[in-house]
Each structure stands twice: as C-alpha cells, then as structure tokens.
Amino acid sequence: MLLRQGYHDLGIAAVLEATGIPKGSFYHHFANKEDFGLQVIDLYMTQVHAGLDHCLVDESRTPLDRVRRFFELTEEKYRGEGYLGCLLGGLGQELSGVSEAFRSKVEWCFCEIARRIANCLEEAVGLGDLAAGTDTRAMADLLVNCWEGAALRTRLRRDPAPLRQMLDFYFRGAAA
C-alpha cells in the first residue's frame, strides 16, 4: 500500500480496513503513523537482508555473480509487484525533505546494503576478478545509486528494461 499510494496519501483508516486490525490494536503497536512507516522499513530490510544472505553466501557462484543475482532476484520481486520499485527509494524520495527520521533511516538502509555488497566485492578482489586496490565501497555505493535510479525509471515505465540495462552496463564495466 505504501508503494502504491505513497506515505502521505495512505491513511491509517485504509491500513486498518485492508488488514482488519482494530484501531486500538494499531496504536498498541505503533505510536503514530511515522512509527508505523519506520517499522515497515525495518520489516522491508529484514527481507532485503534475507535476499542478500541468500545470494551473497552462495559459493557456487563467483562474488560478482552473487551480487548480480541479488539484483536480478530483486527485479523479479518488482515484476511481481507491478514494477512499483523499491520501498526505500519511494519513501526516501517522498519523505527525505520533510522528515529527518525517514531521511536518516533510509540512508542508513542504503549504506547497510552497500556495505554488505562491498564485502562480497572484496572477495572478488581477492580472487582477481576485480583489480587489486579497487575501492569496493565506492563501487558498491555506485551500484546501489545506479540501481535506485533505474528502479525509478522502471516504475515510471512499468518496464524492467532500465534495471536490466543498468546491470548489464555495470557488470560489463566491472569485468573490464
């Protein structure tokens, strides 16, 4: 609902109606709408970390293939949701200018994703798949930044081409 409607257009009453949860129960678990949104991000990040765990530890693939596989599976998830894109990107775009709590939470999430990807890219350096001295943190940050831009374009077009083009371009460059 947050992806479809956005934070500002999603009322608590609509959430309660869609979930069948009484208002009192909602406020027992969430102090307010902002607390609800921040906890939704936490839940979303649990899923992101599970996806990272699934892909980044798969030693049957090279480190670069593991990283790419994470993003390919994410694109499949987006397709299943109608190419609405990334919850972090959507909330970050909508709320970063008006809520410090959301801005800092979303930025922390992106940094955490990049940190985990950088660790996998370090393995690629160790195996010689990336040049010695590669700044893997900068490379991971760039990948997350490019992905988020491509996710926005995919959402606008309802077409996965921007995501696939970005991955192809990025990993061709990494392999060179």
Distances (CA, A) of 2 to 57, 145, 169: 31, 21, 30
- Please state which CATH number belongs to domain 32-175: 1.10.357.10
136-146 residue pLDDT tens: 999 999 999 99
Query: Residue 31 contacts by C-beta under 8 Å, 6 or more apart in sequence?
Result: none
What per-residue confidence (pLDDT) applies to 99? 93
Show the tokens assigned to 159. Answer: 């077409």
Rg (CA), the chain: 18
Q: Where residue 105 falls among pLDDT bands split at 50, 70, 90?
A: very high
146-166 residue pLDDT tens: 999 999 999 999 999 999 999
Hey, where are the domains in the chain? 32-175
Q: Residue 110 and residue 145: Cα distance in Å, rounded?
A: 9
Show the tokens assigned to 76. Answer: 């499949």
Q: Where residue 12 falls among pLDDT bands split at 50, 70, 90?
A: very high
The mean per-residue pLDDT over the stretch 82-97 comes to: 90
What per-residue confidence (pLDDT) applies to 82? 87
